[in-house]
Amino acid sequence: MKATRKAMIRQYKDTPRSMGVGAVRNTANGKALVVCGRDLSALLNRHRAQLRLDAHANRALQADWNTLGPDAFEFVVLDTLAPTDAADYDPTEDLHTLEALWLQKLSPFAPTGYHRPSA
């Protein structure tokens, strides 16, 4: 049994993470919060957990979650970044570029979104 657990842990660690851009969408009013990261599913799960715990940093999003409930929200993957085999590849710049494209496309800035308006 221990070998099976170790094998499962190794398989988990060896599985490439989905990098990219996602969103927390309010299906009741169309507002969205765009997020990006190296492990997109973990990032979306973290936002979901923060909202459930009433501990999300975005107070407008948290207020809507508290008022409308979890059924009014969806956590979606908008775009992914293909992994590369290059050992020295740093996806940070590519992730920021992808995020900027989605911010431009969706324009999720207050008052119609959860992002602060850009200066």
In the chain, where are the structural domains located?
22-82+89-106
Q: Which residue has the higher pLDDT, 10 or 80?
A: 80
Predicted confidence band at 109 (pLDDT cuts at 50, 70, 90)?
Answer: very high
Output the CATH code of domain 22-82+89-106.
3.40.1440.10
Indicate the pLDDT class of residue 2, thresholds 50, 70 and 90.
low
| Interval 52-72 mean pLDDT | 98
Among left, alpha and beta (phi > 0; psi -120 to 50; other), residue 33 is beta
- On the CB side of 113, CA atoms within 13 Å amount to 18
- For range 2-24, the mean pLDDT: 78
pLDDT for the residue numbered 77: 96
Q: What percent of the chain has pLDDT over 70?
A: 92
Looking at residue 54, its pLDDT comes to 98
State pLDDT tens for residues 16-37: 678 999 999 999 999 999 999 9
Cα distances (Å, whole numbers) of residue 76 to 16, 40, 83: 19, 10, 19
* Predicted local distance difference test score (pLDDT) of residue 76: 97
The pLDDT value given to residue 102: 97
> In sequence order, what are the beta bridge partners of 22?
35, 77
